Amino acid sequence: MAMKLRYIIVFAFALIFSSCGDDSTVKVFEDRDLTDIEYNPQTLQISYPQTFPRLEQPDDNLMTTDGVELGRHLFYDPILSADSTMSCASCHLPLGSFTDNLAVSIGIDNIAGKRSSMSLLNTGFYNTGLFWDGRSTTLEEQALLPVEDPIELHDTWDNVIFKLQCTEAYPEMFRKAFGIEKSSQITKELAAKAMAQFERSLVSSGSSKYDKVLAGKDVFTEEELMGFEIFFDINEDLPDGECFHCHNEPLLTTNEYLNNGLDSVPDFDSFEDVGYGAVTGVNFDNGKFRVPTLRNIIHSAPFMHDGRFQTLEEVLDHYNSGGKPSPNKHPLIVPLGLTQEHLDALMAFLHTLTDEEFMNNPAYSDPN
Ligand code: HEC
Ligand code: HEC
């Protein structure tokens, strides 16, 4: 009985103070009329290397200047987490090519997930599913998930939307981006749309040495050229690296779901993380993960879905060894017979995929 009463008191207290406002001023939520703020969305054209495929956008969520700007604010704002300590950017930092440089990500409650954060570079081009296992189909759908994920931002959308409606700035930004008329019209779907627009704007600048060489504006050193030829199997006098079959140009990924021989397992049911198999329900897909891009790879350590390799040297040693046996290891994961000279050359080539301009682009940085 005493317990019950205490709950009722706590609940009543929570109701009073769930109104808008910070610690000092408690305001009552006011549904602001926003119609005097101009709504005049401008389509945003972004440029990316000419070798890239066309960037597809959903008809009902074309990038606009104000949409991308709103998405950028949301992406960097800890208001999206229950205790205001973390934002999307906590795990997707520009300087890590939009990863967190941890083996596996850690959320607001200090609980570690089982997967490594993924680079968001060129994420708008990936149309075979998102996440290491492909469980999300669109950026709009994906952006709804981290807020309520118990090991990420661990809040509820109702609460986040309420917090956004209470701010001075967000109702105006949602008005400019989506034409809402009152602050109560802010929804999680619109927030997700804005974040998806921002993410689609995260494209290669074209200033990596690799892109410049392809565009005829720079040349590889001898060592880089050797690495390039091993990567793409194009010199008969050098061993084949086989890399391009899965990390093909121009995005340096085919975005397929494959097993690259990370674990030694006797059968399909023994993989610790079944990956793609959990999404397709086909046990032949167990232990398969999406091929990630190698663009900016030197900035997104540690490597693989569980961050098991700390360095690129370890990654190259893994491939050179032919990987570990499992029933669905891809047939191209075989001993490569690369000497130290070849490995150094491959490493030099991987460095040419670095795009500093992308990571330092002010349009992608924290707006606050
Ligand atoms: C606690 C760390 C953490 C936070 C916070 C976080 N992410 Fe992630 N993100 C990850 C991890 C880990 C993965 C890979 C998960 C997997 O494959 O199971 C990922 C994957 C993604 C992907 C998939 C990329 C691809 O190429 O498939 C996108 C997009 C993404 N996150 C966007 C966001 C957005 C938007 C937010 C904020 C709303 C956010 N993330 C918040 C850790 C985080
Ligand atoms: C049969 C396809 C295949 C081939 C061939 C292949 N890879 Fe991969 N690569 C993958 C897959 C799949 C992953 C992700 C595996 C995982 O995390 O479970 C991956 C991951 C990586 C990663 C880690 C990326 C990150 O963000 O964590 C690097 C680096 C890499 N590969 C480099 C190479 C190089 C260099 C070669 C050639 C020597 C190569 N790969 C050959 C399929 C392949």
Confidence of residue 246 (pLDDT cuts 50, 70, 90): very high
Predicted confidence at residue 109, as pLDDT, reads: 83
What does pTM read for this prediction? Answer: 0.93
Contact yes or no for 131/120 (Cβ under 8 A): no
- Report the candidate in 72, 81, 67, 161 with the shortest Cα–Cα distance to residue 120: 72
In this structure, what token pair is assigned to residue 102? 């941890």
Closest residue by Cα to atom 36, ligand 2, is 243
Q: Is the CB of 201 under 6 A from ligand 1?
A: no
Q: What is the mean pLDDT of the chain?
A: 92
Say which residues have a Cβ less than 8 Å from residue 105's Cβ, sequence separation at least 6: 91, 112, 113, 115, 116, 117, 151, 152
Contact yes or no for 70/194 (Cβ under 8 A): yes
Confidence of residue 221 (pLDDT cuts 50, 70, 90): very high
CA 362 – ligand 2 centroid, Å: 30
> Ligand 2: which of 289, 294, 349 to mutate, most ligand atoms within 8 Å of CB?
294
Give residue for tokens 């981290």.
Answer: 146
Confidence of residue 20 (pLDDT cuts 50, 70, 90): low
What residue type is assigned to position 330 of the chain? H
Kindly list the protein residues whose Cβ atom lies closer than 6 A to any atom of ligand 2. Answer: 241-243, 245-247, 258, 260, 262, 289, 291-292, 294, 297, 300, 303-305, 312, 315, 319, 330, 332-333, 346
> Ligand 2: which of 264, 313, 319, 328 to mutate, most ligand atoms within 8 Å of CB?
319
Q: For residues 95 and 101, what is the distance between their CA atoms, to the nearest angstrom?
A: 9
Say which residues have a Cβ less than 8 Å from residue 362's Cβ, sequence separation at least 6: none
Q: Which atom of ligand 2 is nearest to the CA of 331?
A: 1
Predicted confidence at residue 228, as pLDDT, reads: 98
Residue 233, pLDDT above cutoff 70: yes
Mean pLDDT (whole number) for 27-54: 91
Say which residues have a Cβ less than 8 Å from residue 236's Cβ, sequence separation at least 6: none
Domains of the chain: 27-45+59-204 (1.10.760.10), 209-358 (1.10.760.10)
Mean pLDDT (whole number) for 5-24: 44
Mean pLDDT (whole number) for 208-232: 97
Predicted confidence at residue 4, as pLDDT, reads: 43
Predicted confidence at residue 368, as pLDDT, reads: 87
Predicted confidence at residue 113, as pLDDT, reads: 86
Residue 191 buriedness (CB in 10 A; 0-12 / 13-18 / 19+): buried
Residue 25, pLDDT above cutoff 50: no
CA 206 – ligand 2 centroid, Å: 22
Mean pLDDT (whole number) for 64-69: 98
Predicted confidence at residue 165, as pLDDT, reads: 95
CA 319 – ligand 2 centroid, Å: 8
Closest residue by Cα to atom 37, ligand 2, is 243
Closest residue by Cα to atom 43, ligand 2, is 246
Q: Which atom of ligand 2 is nearest to the CA of 319?
A: 38
- Report the candidate in 144, 153, 159, 158 with the shortest Cα–Cα distance to residue 192: 144
Residue 76, pLDDT above cutoff 90: yes
Predicted confidence at residue 30, as pLDDT, reads: 82
Q: Any idea which ligand is nearest the CA of 200?
A: 1
Q: Which atom of ligand 1 is nearest to the CA of 113?
A: 12
> pLDDT tens digit string along 100-154?
999 888 888 888 888 999 999 999 999 999 999 999 999 999 999 999 999 899 9
Predicted confidence at residue 27, as pLDDT, reads: 54
Q: Is the CB of 230 under 6 A from ligand 1?
A: no
> pLDDT tens digit string along 151-205?
899 999 999 999 999 999 999 999 999 999 999 999 999 999 999 999 999 999 9
Closest residue by Cα to atom 3, ligand 1, is 91
Confidence of residue 28 (pLDDT cuts 50, 70, 90): low
